[in-house]
Amino acid sequence: MEIANHEAFEAWDGQEGDDWAENAERYERSGWRHRPHLVNTSIIGAGDRVLDIGCGTGRSTIEAAQLASQGSALGIDLSSRMLACAREQAAAAGVGNVTFVQGDAQVHPFEAGSADVAISDCGAMFFGDPVAAFANVGGGLRAGGRLALLAWRELERNEWLTTVRGALARGRDLPSPPPDAPTPFSLADPGRVQARLTAAGFRDIQLDPVDEPMEIGADADDAFSFFKGAGIVRGLLEDVDEAGRAQALDDLHAAFKEAETSEGVLLGSSAWLITATRG
């Protein structure tokens, strides 16, 4: 297996991937309102061969395979643990036209022209060389094949992150992710997306906003019990003293309490649905 994105591989085939696999139901539930914008009959036809980039625990791949009932779906991801979870879920759902492979989509040897559509549910933001990666994915698409991606818009538009960061800041100016780095916001800027996909050989590039709430817990206690041990919280509180850490966690619990609804703890989010055609 050839790897181009070594840092991402170490994270996702390590602690990050293990965490997602252990909490697959929670993570898949958090974004269930977003997936129908990506996995639907306007994007996936009954006979399509679908490629799912950064498929994680496989929910989007399985749903794509169910739509492509006369076709197939192939999910690729860096995480062996998440892929094992994906295979278990596909078997439990009785979905037989789905395959999962461990690999780096930036350099994976996709069979030329073997797919009709490539999708990604927030899994295409972490490429070290996005142009090379999208060109490689494009090589796996037939001529005129389609690309559809969900990717986060700017940090400031995503309340589910600004709420956590605001509660834990404790008067500090927290750094923002660099716009050109392989972070969750690397596809937030429309101009950068247009340039990258054009250079990778795509045309008819369109970005449509997807604004849906993230469900981060059944209630405030449930959300807090999970987030207090999450990587983002550990990282933001790493250099905070014990008293400050305790107060920050209290503020986080209070923020979740304010966002509590009859449908769970809901916080706003904003993503792009990016669509394009292989030129």
Q: How many CB atoms lie within 10 A of CB 193?
A: 22
Q: Is the dihedral of CA 188, 150, 157, 16 positive or negative?
A: negative
Q: What pLDDT was estimated at residue 231?
A: 81
The answer to whether the predicted template modeling score (pTM) of the entire model surpasses 0.85 is yes
Q: What pLDDT was estimated at residue 182?
A: 86
Integer CA distances (angstroms), 10 to 1, 22, 78, 79, 93, in order: 14, 17, 9, 9, 30
Q: What are phi and psi of 221, to 5 degrees?
A: -65, -40
The model's pLDDT over 117-143, given as tens digits with 9 standing for 90+, comes to 999 999 999 999 999 999 999 999 999
pLDDT of 233 above 90: no
The model's pLDDT over 23-69, given as tens digits with 9 standing for 90+, comes to 999 999 999 999 999 999 999 999 999 999 999 999 999 999 999 99
Three state DSSP letters for the chain:
CCCCCHHHHHHHCCHHHHHHHHCHHHHHHHCCCCHHHHCCCCCCCCCCEEEEECCCCCHHHHHHHHHCCCCEEEEEECCHHHHHHHHHHHHHHCCCCEEEEECCCCCCCCCCCCEEEEEEECCCCCCCCHHHHHHHHHHCEEEEEEEEEEEECCHHHCHHHHHHHHHHCCCCCCCCCCCCCCCCCCCCCHHHHHHHHHHCCEEEEEEEEEEEEEEEECCHHHHHHHHCCCHHHHHHCCCCCHHHHHHHHHHHHHHHHHCEECCEEEEEEEEEEEEEEEC
Q: What pLDDT was estimated at residue 177?
A: 81
Enumerate domains of the chain plus CATH numbers: 6-154+179-215+269-278 (3.40.50.150)
pLDDT of 179 above 80: no
The model's pLDDT over 183-197, given as tens digits with 9 standing for 90+, comes to 899 999 999 999 999
pLDDT of 236 above 90: no
